[in-house]
Amino acid sequence: MDRPAGKGVSRRGVLVSGAACAAATAMPASASSKEPSAPMKTPPALPVQVKVNGKAAALTVDTRTTLLDALREHLHLTGTKKGCDHGQCGACTVIVNGRRINSCLSLAVMHDGDSVTTIEGLGTPEDLHPMQAAFVRHDGYQCGYCTPGQICSAVAVLDEIKAGIPSHVAADVAASPAFSEMEIRERMSGNICRCGAYSNIVEAIREAAGRRQA
Amino acid sequence: MKAFEYTRASSPADAAALAAKTPGARFIAGGTNLLDLMKLEIETPTHLIDVNKLALDRIEETSDGGLRIGALVRNTDLAADKRVRRDYAVLTRAIVAGASGQLRNKATTAGNLLQRTRCPYFYDPNQPCNKRKPGSGCAAIGGFSRQLAVIGTSKACIATYPGDMAIAMRLLDATVETVKPDGSTRKIAIADFHRLPGDTPHLDNTLQTGELITAVTLPKPLGGKHFYHKVRDRASYAFALVSVAAVVQKDGTGRVAFGGMAHKPWRVEAAEAALPKGAAATAKIAFAGATPTHDNAFKLQLAERTLAAVLHEARG
Ligand SMILES: Cc1cc2nc3c(=O)[nH]c(=O)nc-3n(C[C@H](O)[C@H](O)[C@H](O)COP(=O)(O)OP(=O)(O)OC[C@H]3O[C@@H](n4cnc5c(N)ncnc54)[C@H](O)[C@@H]3O)c2cc1C
Ligand code: SF4
Ligand code: FES
Ligand code: FES
């Protein structure tokens, strides 16, 4: 996004807050008195219950913990990636109650009672989700870092078209959207791939869409 | 991010009352703007009041033929509503021109209206910025100002309001409904909601401390052809350099509002009378007294040409 002057600072901010989260996780609550002169004695922590990939999970998290950090650091589901940590890249995309969101811009405590699907919940190595299989078949990646987010996003995109949600490239927003390459490119624009695997990603999604319609 | 307490609000009036009596409290809705700014410690609330469980997520017809949009209606749902797509297409077009599918799934009607500027110096805590830190100065004046405002600026701030949805709401003459900490309600015309920077650029809008947005209402449909043309540095997923929201009737009359030009959605009703005469005549009145910088003077020409493209399409 357009934020030239803030780049360096935001990266450092990410590292600092990431470290704060990790420290809070590793420490039992009773040890917090040993903490060096922190401004608040114990940072506020709250219980949350979420269903992740069909399994119930009960956590107690520092209120600052994002859904992304809860998935990665607390539940050890490291398939979901942290790219920018600012809603700009889509690497952290997961599906919450059937809708794709950026898990880096959402607090874990705001998801009490929610149902979350991550890349680990879509399929398994032995039994891939059709979208995962299509990405493999079409080489929809190079380094693979953006891929879990791309796949979660793509699965949700097909549902969004089916649900009739309009996009920026619609000639007539009142009409039902139809599947097209332009629609895919526009709807996937929140998922950045710095390896530039875009054309293969589009091919993979096209194939997965075709299979599902058949 | 600084540590904060977290409370789920139980009713709109309670949320407003709690926000007013808790120093450092902020509402959180989708979180897509607030959390971004909290990570950078540009926003440092000590208490977050989560409004997501309040029943403000419906779109209803009003008795005078308009629509009442709950403050928590997600951008995706507002853009996809059949009535909005049919009768207020400019609003759907503006929403889907902004952010990404993931962000629009979270972003709310109220949160979108209240999104903060994208001035690069506002985002850089090492730079003086009167909006972030009142009295510290403005690094954008004399700095990199390509994206910034060309009209309605002040000696204290030349930032723009960055959003898309609000430009369409300004065009449609929407009304913002709120509840205040004492439980009373008020209605604010969208024209009076966002403000110009003046000497107090830290205030983006006219909400009072603790005041909660409950809904946005739209008057009855205008008919005509609806347009939202957004010009940006890439084809998708970028903020506007310039945007034009317009409703044009068969006889060539209509309304127009501009995004990316000022600290608020820019609509000059007197300029709309010139729409049948064309883009140049309209832009001349809409941007009379503009104060562009060397870097962003191109926006004036770009806005006029974007309007010309819209009017051309309207005739076709
Ligand atoms: C990468 C990126 C790209 C983007 N691109 C665009 C774009 O192209 N165009 C565009 O228009 N926008 C864009 N956005 C901004 C996006 O639209 C906003 O972040 C979003 O609309 C904010 O809504 P929210 O519900 O998440 O707000 P929150 O972050 O929850 O809140 C924003 C503010 O509103 C206050 N608030 C929330 N609800 C209420 C209420 N009911 N009453 C009173 N105060 C309230 C909060 O206290 C906070 O100050 C982009 C954002 C990102 C991260
Ligand atoms: S233009 Fe406004 S937001 Fe930007 S640096 Fe100046 S005071 Fe801050
Ligand atoms: S890590 Fe969430 S969008 Fe980049
Ligand atoms: S495959 Fe490397 S970032 Fe997309």
Contacts of A102 (CB under 8 A, 6+ apart): A87, A90, A92, A93, A190, B32, B102, B103, B106
Distance between CA atoms of A6 and B202, rounded to whole angstroms? Answer: 19
Report the percent of chain A where pLDDT is more than 90: 78
CA of A66 to the centre of ligand 3 (A): 11
Distance between CA atoms of B296 and B54, rounded to whole angstroms? Answer: 42
Task: Assess whether the C-beta atom of B71 lies below 6 angstroms from ligand 2.
Answer: no
Residue A40 is encoded by which pair of tokens? 């608040």
pLDDT in tens, chain B (316 residues): 999 999 999 999 999 999 999 999 999 999 999 999 999 999 999 999 999 999 999 999 999 999 999 999 999 999 999 999 999 999 999 999 999 999 999 999 999 999 999 999 999 999 999 999 999 999 999 999 999 999 999 999 999 999 999 999 999 999 999 999 999 999 999 999 999 999 999 999 999 999 999 999 999 999 999 999 999 998 889 999 999 999 999 999 999 999 999 999 999 999 999 999 999 999 999 999 999 999 999 999 999 999 999 999 999 8
Q: Which atom of ligand 2 is nearest to the CA of B197?
A: 2
Q: Do B40 and A174 touch (CB under 8 A)?
A: no
Task: Assess whether the C-beta atom of A130 lies below 6 angstroms from ligand 3.
Answer: no
The residue type found at B297 is A
Task: Answer whether B31 touches A (CB < 8 Å).
Answer: yes
* pLDDT score at A42: 87
Helices (H) and strands (E) in chain B, counts: 11, 11
* pLDDT score at A40: 57
* Contact (CB, 8 A) for B122 and B33: no
* Contact (CB, 8 A) for B282 and B266: no
Q: Which atom of ligand 3 is nearest to the CA of A190?
A: 3
A140-167: per-residue pLDDT in tens?
999 999 999 999 999 999 999 999 999 9
Distance between CA atoms of A56 and A97, rounded to whole angstroms? Answer: 14
* pLDDT score at A39: 56
Q: Which atom of ligand 4 is nearest to the CA of A195?
A: 2
pLDDT at A24 over 60: no
Look up residue B52 and give its DSSP letter: T
Within 10 angstroms of residue B201's Cβ, the number of other Cβ atoms is 25
* pLDDT score at A21: 37
Distance between CA atoms of B153 and B160, rounded to whole angstroms? Answer: 9
* pLDDT score at A212: 55
CA of B30 to the centre of ligand 1 (A): 7
A25-84: per-residue pLDDT in tens?
333 344 444 445 545 578 999 999 999 999 999 999 999 999 999 999 999 999 999 999
Q: Is B266 helix (H, G, I), strand (E, B) or coil?
A: strand
Look up residue B127 and give its DSSP letter: S
Q: Which atom of ligand 3 is nearest to the CA of A85?
A: 1
Q: Long-range CB contacts (< 8 A, 24+ apart) of B239-244?
A: B239/A1, B239/A2, B239/B118, B239/B147, B239/B162, B240/B97, B240/B162, B240/B164, B241/B147, B241/B299, B241/B302, B242/B299, B242/B302, B242/B303, B242/B306, B243/B94, B243/B97, B243/B164, B243/B167, B243/B306, B244/B303, B244/B306, B244/B307, B244/B310
* pLDDT score at A211: 66
Distance between CA atoms of A1 and B133, rounded to whole angstroms? Answer: 23
Protein residue with its CA nearest to atom 8 in ligand 2: B129
If you average pLDDT over residues A133-140, what whole number do you get?
A: 98
- E-strand ranges in B131-199 read 175-179, 185-189
Interface of B with A in 72-101 (CB under 8 A): 76, 79-80, 82, 85-86, 89, 92-93, 96-97, 99-101
How many CB contacts within 8 angstroms connect chain A with chain B?
Answer: 146
What is the least distance, in Å, from the CA of B255 to any CA of chain A? 20
Q: Do A5 and B93 touch (CB under 8 A)?
A: no
Dihedral sign, Cα of residue B121, residue B241, residue B29, residue A94? negative
Task: Assess whether the C-beta atom of A190 lies below 6 angstroms from ligand 1.
Answer: no
B13-45: per-residue pLDDT in tens?
999 999 999 999 999 999 999 999 999 999 999
* Contact (CB, 8 A) for B236 and A186: yes
* Contact (CB, 8 A) for B85 and B41: no
If you average pLDDT over residues A129-133, what whole number do you get?
A: 98
- CB burial readout B167-199, b (16+ within 10 A) else e: bbbbbbbbbbbbbbbeeeeeebebeebbbebee
Facing B32 at nearest CB: one of A46, A105, A170: A105
pLDDT at A20 over 80: no
Dihedral sign, Cα of residue B259, residue B261, residue B263, residue B264? negative
Q: Do B144 and A4 touch (CB under 8 A)?
A: yes
Average per-residue pLDDT in chain A? Answer: 86
Task: Assess whether the C-beta atom of B106 lies below 6 angstroms from ligand 1.
Answer: yes
Q: Is A155 helix (H, G, I), strand (E, B) or coil?
A: helix
